[in-house]
Structure 1
Amino acid sequence: MGKESPLTEAVYYILLAVRKPNHGYGIIQDVLDMTGGRVNLGPGTLYGAINSLLEKGWIKLYSEEKQSRKKKSYVITSLGVEVFKKEVMRLNELIKNSEKMGV
């Protein structure tokens, strides 16, 4: 499957949150909403992951406000979509095999 898998839960949800342009606080809120509050990304985790995802080319800078706090928005790239889809396939396989075993 490649060295990009498996994704951490934080990276999985970040990629899911940037399928449309989104900024840091928006990503945190979207992940909280998606997980019913179970996953709460701290700023260090979020921005560390964002920097890593930018380096890998899985996300890109979408826009940056130059005024005030320089809010940046990010969006997933086609490479990021490919990696994300591979991870979904991997997770589905895990579920399917668990079901086969009666779990």
Structure 2
Amino acid sequence: MDKKIKKIYVPMTETAFYILLSLKTPRYGYLIMQYIEKLTKGRIKMGAGTLYGGLSKMQKDGLIEIVKVEDKRKIYQITELGNELLNIEKARIRELYRNAEGTDDQ
């Protein structure tokens, strides 16, 4: 893995995390926004500018790819590199959670 790409994405922003997570299944923009809103129980309502800016950057960096175009809708999916970064971030979050649970709040 390119160290530069890893440095850019780890630790990952919540936006990047949820975009990559949503693209484990191929989706187009509006479906990505709906999925993230549903997954976070409405806590995150991603705007179109944020989403499409993130998609463009991630595609350029090789984390996602367009797998199909239907009725002018670009359908994206996570790549192997994106999956690898997502797994690194999930492990980092698990470690944070474990460490937080293992300390006394004094």
Give the aligned CA root-mean-square deviation in angstroms. Answer: 1.3
User: Which secondary structure does the structure 2 equivalent of 1:6 belong to?
Assistant: coil
Identity of aligned residues (%): 39
Equivalent pairs, count: 100
Residue 101 of structure 1 corresponds to: 103
AA at the equivalent of 1:13: Y
User: Normalising by structure 2, what TM-score?
Assistant: 0.90
Aligned pair partner of 1:34 in 33, 39, 44: 39
Note if 1:79 corresponds to 2:81.
yes
TM-score w.r.t. the length of structure 1 is: 0.92
Q: 2:12 aligned with 1:7, yes or no?
A: yes
2-structure distance, mates of 1:98, 1:21: 34
Moved over 2 A (4+): none
Find the residue that maps to 1:10 and give its secondary structure.
helix
Q: Distance in 2 between matches of 1:102 and 1:36?
A: 29
1:38 is paired with a residue whose SS is: coil
1-structure distance, mates of 2:21, 2:37: 12
Q: Deviations over 1:28-74 (max 9, x none)?
A: 00000000000010000000000010011000001112x4xx11100
Q: From the two aligned structures, give the one with the greater helix fraction.
A: 2
Which consecutive residues of structure 2, in runs of 5 or more, have no partner in the other structure?
Answer: none
Shift of 1:99: 1.1
Q: Which residues of structure 1 form unaligned runs of 5+? A: none
